[in-house]
Amino acid sequence: MTIQDEAIQHIISTNKAKKFNKEKIQNELDDCLECLTILDNAIESTYFDDKHSLIMQSWCKEYKTRLNNLREQLKDNNG
């Protein structure tokens, strides 16, 4: 294998790794959005006691923080 072939293989490997990482982040982001949707619907349903709704609201904050972090990672990965 020549030096050029090795360089090309390195670039291909790097691009595959970036693509995999981007897909992984996107999947996590989609999961966070789904969790927020489920939690929001549960909170709005009024089936739960207030103390349980407050717990779910704290979970929402955690997921929103995670969502923002993932969006930043995705932006950094694209740049």
Listing DSSP states for the chain in one string gives --HHHHHHHHHHHHHHHHHHHHHHHHHHHHHHHHHHHHHHHHHHT--S-HHHHHHHHHHHHHHHHHHHHHHHHHHHHH-
74, two tokens: 């995705």
> Per-domain residue ranges for the chain?
49-79
Give yes or no for a contact between 5 and 54, defined as CB atoms under 8 angstroms apart.
no
- Tens-digit pLDDT string for the chain (79 aa): 788 888 888 888 888 888 899 999 999 999 999 999 999 999 999 899 999 999 999 999 999 999 999 999 988 877 5
Q: What does pTM read for this prediction?
A: 0.78
pLDDT the model gives residue 9:
86
Give yes or no for a contact between 69 and 49, defined as CB atoms under 8 angstroms apart.
no
pLDDT the model gives residue 34:
97
